[in-house]
């Protein structure tokens, strides 16, 4: 490989990075911070989508201990697969979180000086999957506190608006923490963790009867093509409809990221060990297990 080839490769890589970040203007950042969710058009190249798709396929063929099949008998022909925290053993996920623009995107949206990778989630709703994902916030499931939290919801398939995740605009700024829901039974988690140091006031989303009062809120959802993604705050209230398509699956990699103000905690309910093992209540979460993968340039 001659020096000219290296030079051309470096130029192409730099140009690709520039183009990828061109959409992160002040308006997009404002929308994320005010609305709690924003659609980023063509944020990831076909090369990155190929990496992610291979990782999803590998994960589904060789699931981890957190895998669930949520589709119930009589709910249609499709399968609702979820699994998380496998990035350390799936090389494609490692490559994506360490080398893709995802960490930088989240850092700039959050206004953080550094970005920690927290974990990834794979969700696949095959064609004909009737089961919905109930209204919830993501952060209550995790033993982390702080406001600089962001997820990137990246599908590798086209997503029609009627099957896209739906967010309640501005709900991350309600100042409310809602009990997490069990996706199998649609019931709230119960407070049963004696080690809890959580001080939030918890309420139930079911009390809000959202499905019968949605006309009171502005809802956010989009039609997405491969390369598009949604960035959202982990306390944005959202749900996901069934996949009523008879042909198109909805395979998604959702990566979760944390910024400067995020610390560990202990929720009133027991969380999976993979989340709590290296987290100290009140202390920053950055560690070997939760690596810092992006830092802002000096003076930015």
> What pLDDT score was predicted for residue 72?
65
Q: In this model, does residue 14 exceed pLDDT 60?
A: no
Rounded-to-integer distance, Cα 144 and Cα 141, Å: 9
pLDDT 10s digits, 23-63: 789 999 999 999 999 999 999 999 999 999 999 999 999 99
* pLDDT digit string, tens, across residues 118-151: 999 999 999 999 999 999 999 999 999 999 999 9
Q: Please state, for a pLDDT cut of 70, what percent of the chain lies above it.
A: 91
Q: Would you place residue 17 in the very low, low, confident or very high pLDDT band (cuts 50, 70, 90)?
A: very low
- Cα separation, 228 vs 156, whole angstroms: 9
Query: What percent of the chain is predicted at pLDDT more than 90?
Result: 81
> Can you give the pLDDT at residue 75?
67
Provide the pLDDT for residue 11: 38
Domain boundaries in the chain?
Answer: 26-295
Instruction: Give the residue-averaged pLDDT of 65-72.
Output: 87
pTM for the model stands at: 0.91
pLDDT category at 273 given cuts 50, 70, 90 is: confident
Query: What is the predicted pLDDT for the residue at 5?
Result: 34
Per DSSP, 117 falls in state: E
Confidence of residue 261 (pLDDT cuts 50, 70, 90): very high
Can you tell me the distance from the alpha carbon of 91 to that of 174, in angstroms, rounded to the nearest whole number? 38
Q: What is the mean pLDDT of residues 53-75?
A: 90
Instruction: Give all strands (DSSP E) within the chain, no chain letters.
Output: 37-40, 68-69, 80-84, 114-125, 133-136, 144-145, 149-155, 166-168, 177-178, 202-203, 219-220, 229-232, 238-240, 250-258, 263-264, 292-295
In this structure, are residues 292 and 115 in contact, taking their beta carbons and an 8 Å threshold? Answer: yes
Which range, 204-208, 241-245, 255-259, has the best average confidence (pLDDT)?
A: 255-259
Residue 22 — very low, low, confident or very high, per pLDDT cuts 50/70/90?
A: confident
37 to 48, 94, 206, 243, 268: CA distances (angstroms): 22, 25, 22, 21, 27
pLDDT band (50, 70, 90) for residue 13 = very low
Average pLDDT value for residue range 276-284 = 89
Element (H, E) at 40: strand 37-40
Distance of CA 276 to the CA centre of its chain: 18
Confidence check: pLDDT of 8 > 70: no
Residue 2 has pLDDT above 50, yes or no: no
Q: How far apart are CA 233 and CA 172, in angstroms?
A: 7
Nearest to 126 by CA among 248, 262, 241: 248
pLDDT at 278: 82
When pLDDT is averaged across residues 155-166 and rounded to a whole number, the result is 97
| CA–centroid distance for 152 within its chain | 5
Q: What is the pLDDT of residue 280?
A: 94
Indicate if the pLDDT at residue 189 is higher than 50.
yes
Pick the closest to residue 253 from 110, 134, 142, 94 (CA basis): 94
CATH class of the domain at 26-295: mainly beta
């Amino acid at each position: 490989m001659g020096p000219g080839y290296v030079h051309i490769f470096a130029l192409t890589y730099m140009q690709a990075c520039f183009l990828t970040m061109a959409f992160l203007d002040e308006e997009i950042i404002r929308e994320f911070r005010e609305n709690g969710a924003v659609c980023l058009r063509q944020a990831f190249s076909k090369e990155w989508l190929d990496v992610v798709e291979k990782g999803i396929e590998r994960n589904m063929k060789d699931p981890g201990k957190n895998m669930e099949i949520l589709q119930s008998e009589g709910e249609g022909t499709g399968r609702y697969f979820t699994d998380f925290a496998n990035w350390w053993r799936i090389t494609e996920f490692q490559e994506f979180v360490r080398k893709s623009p995802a960490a930088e995107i989240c850092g700039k949206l959050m206004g953080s000086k550094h970005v920690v990778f927290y974990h990834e989630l794979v969700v696949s709703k095959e064609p004909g999957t009737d089961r919905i994902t109930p209204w919830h916030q993501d952060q209550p499931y995790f033993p982390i506190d702080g406001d600089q939290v962001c997820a990137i919801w990246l599908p590798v398939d086209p997503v029609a608006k009627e099957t896209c995740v739906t967010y309640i605009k501005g709900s991350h700024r309600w100042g409310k923490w809602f009990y997490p829901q069990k996706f199998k039974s649609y019931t709230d988690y119960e407070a049963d963790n004696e080690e809890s140091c959580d001080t939030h006031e918890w309420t139930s989303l079911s009390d809000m009867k959202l499905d019968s009062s949605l006309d009171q809120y502005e809802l956010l959802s989009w039609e997405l093509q491969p390369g598009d993604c949604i960035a959202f705050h982990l306390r944005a209230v959202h749900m996901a409809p069934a996949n009523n398509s008879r042909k198109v699956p909805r395979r998604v990699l959702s990566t979760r990221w944390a910024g400067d103000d995020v610390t560990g905690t202990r929720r009133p309910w027991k969380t999976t060990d993979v989340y709590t093992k290296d987290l100290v209540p009140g202390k920053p979460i950055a560690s070997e297990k939760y690596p810092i993968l992006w830092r802002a340039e000096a003076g930015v």
